[in-house]
Amino acid sequence: MTPLPDFLLEPVVRAALTEDLSPMGDVTTRAVVPADKTCVARLNAREEGVVSGMQVAALAFRLVDAGLSVQIHCADGHACSKGQALMTITGSAASILMGERVALNFAGRMTGIASLTAAFVAQTQGTQTRITCTRKTTPGLRVVEKLAVTHGGGHNHRFGLSDAILIKDNHIAAAGGIQAVLEAAKAARSHMMRVELEVDTLDQLEEALAVGGADVILLDNMDSPTLRQAVALAAGRVVLEASGNMRLDRIAEVAATGVDYISSGALTHSARTFDLGLDF
């Protein structure tokens, strides 16, 4: 996978470094570590998983000190084993210590997301169903959390409110019904803008198909038998996304219904931080 340009990630990393080092830098390191001390540090995995955040961690170290030499041994999107060295950082000990926590925070968070996503994706084996994330991300960290989902083999849903027209139940209630919102969306959309409609029942799905105008229909909180009926009813006319209560232990069953996508907020809001360590 081609990495994102560093300049797109730099504002997020710079903000984290500023949070950690302001206003007076690393007073502990400045007090006890000689300025001319150099060392080699290794970023090690302490469990098995799918790696993410190496590009971001490397960027954190380089922003602290452009003179640091950073070598990535396990690229983002690749599996790692317990005890494996993922990265080596060589240079000023003080600089490495200043960047350590921010680098570990990003890499641990992102590898946790990638590893959980990979577990979800594994449950779809043998089907055409894809796993996608949602907008339930940590404020300010959406770009790196959604990037981690792709490293785990998942796909990204919209990045924000301006990417696509996604009509949810409150939009329907406020606008006066499914026909009203779909007709309004058709009138407002550009030729590049897709429309997705959330439905809770098969009756709503039937109405949406009859009115037309939706490219994607989100099937919200439906059980598996109902999802199978929805797939049969749609008969390939629209893309179907299943969402709501999508736990890891349910993914294989949902994928078997034939839906095109399964979206889960858990990928980003409930992923466990991966156990990493930086050792001199």
* Residues 25-73: tens digit of each pLDDT: 999 999 999 999 999 999 999 999 999 999 999 999 999 999 999 999 9
As beta bridge partners, residue 43 has: 87, 278
Q: What number of CA atoms fall less than 13 Å from residue 117's CA on the CB side?
A: 34
Separation between Cα atoms, residue 241 and residue 196, nearest integer Å? 9
Separation between Cα atoms, residue 232 and residue 140, nearest integer Å? 40
Q: Three-class SS of residue 65?
A: coil
pLDDT at 123 > cutoff 90: yes
pLDDT at 204 > cutoff 90: yes
pLDDT of 2 reads 85
Query: In Å, how far from its chain's centre is CA 96?
Result: 27
In degrees rounded to 5, what are phi and psi of residue 7?
-65, -20
Q: Three-class SS of residue 272?
A: coil
In degrees rounded to 5, what are phi and psi of residue 65?
-155, 110
Predicted TM-score (pTM) above 0.95: yes
pLDDT of 1 reads 79
Q: Which residues contact 161 (CB under 8 A, 6 or more apart)?
A: none
Separation between Cα atoms, residue 193 and residue 224, nearest integer Å? 30
Q: What is the average pLDDT score of the chain?
A: 97
At 12, the pLDDT band (50, 70, 90 cuts) reads very high
Q: What is the DSSP string of 150-217?
A: HHTT-B---SSTTSSEEE-HHHHHHHTSHHHHHHHHHHH--TT--EEEEESSHHHHHHHHHH---SEE
Q: What is the pLDDT of residues 82-109, one digit of tens each?
A: 999 999 999 999 999 999 999 999 999 9
The residues that are catalytic are 101, 136, 168, 198, 220
Provide the token pair at 248.
Answer: 């890891």
pLDDT at 22 > cutoff 90: yes
Provide the angle, in degrees to the nearest 10, between the axes of the packed helices 202-211 and 224-234. Answer: 20
Q: What is the pLDDT of residues 131-171, one digit of tens each?
A: 999 999 999 999 999 999 999 999 999 999 999 999 999 99
